[in-house]
Homo-oligomer: A and B are copies of this chain.
Amino acid sequence: MNTIKEYFNLIKPNKVINVSQGDYLFNQNDAAIGVYIVQQGCIKLLRDTIDGNTVIFYHAQLNESLAEASLYSDYYHCHARADVNSIVEFYDKESVLKYLSLNIDSSLKFIEVLAKQIQRLRLLLELRSIRSARERLFQYLKLMSDDKGVFLFASTYKDLAITLGMTHETLYRVLSQLEKDKVIMREANKIILQI
C-alpha cells in the first residue's frame, strides 16, 4: 500500500542488482544516480554520526522504493546496506524524472509516498523526544504493533535499539523490565503487548 511499484510499472528498470548480505548498494556522498525498488530481501538506509553512532532511517522492504529523496540531490545522503541477500531494481534519475513529468498519476502517487515518509520520520523524531528509554520503547511498540498488540520484527534487537536511539544493553534491560511487569510478552521474533 505504501509502495510505489504499482504506479511505476510503465518504466523499465535500467538493471537489476544483486546485493549480498552486508554489502552496500551505495554509500553516503556517492553521486545520486537514481532510485531503487526492492524486489527481494531488505535494504536498510543508515548514516553514521560524528560520534560513531548509527542512525537507521528506513528499512525498505519488498516493492518499496528507496533513495526517492535523492531525486533532487546530487549525492546520496546515507548508506544503503543489505542485511540479507537482496535484489533491487535500479531506475536512473533522468528516466524517473521524465517518467514523472509525463505521468501525472505516478507523480501524485510519488507525492503520497513522500508524504508518508515525512510522517514516518516525524514519528521517529517524536519518539526520540521521549526521554525515558522504557517509555520510548513502549510507545514505539504501541505504534508499530497491530490491533492485537503483536509487533513482528524482521530485524534484530540491536537494530531496534539503534532505531530507538539507545544502546542495545539498555534495550535488553527495558525489555526484560517490561516483561517482568507483564506489559509485554516475548516470543521468537515477536513482541506481544498485554492490553
| A residues at B contact (CB < 8 Å) | 47, 49-51, 53-55, 57, 68-73, 77-78, 97, 100-102, 104, 107-108, 110-112, 114-119, 121-122, 124-126, 128-132, 135, 139, 165
Contacts and interface: CB of A to CB of B under 8 A. Distances in A.
Contact of A125 (B68, B128, B131): B128
Contacts of A47: 122, 126
Nearest to A47: B126
Given A101-B108, A124-B125, A50 B118 contact: no
Contact of A49 (B71, B114, B130): B130
A131 to B, nearest CB: 6
A110 B102 CA distance: 15
Interface majority SS (helix, strand, loop, mixed), chain A: helix
B130 A73 contact: no
A68 B112 CA distance: 10
6 contacts: A55-B128, A69-B115, A70-B115, A72-B111, A104-B104, A121-B121
A64 to B, nearest CB: 14
A29 to B, nearest CB: 14
Contacts of A104: 101-102, 104, 107
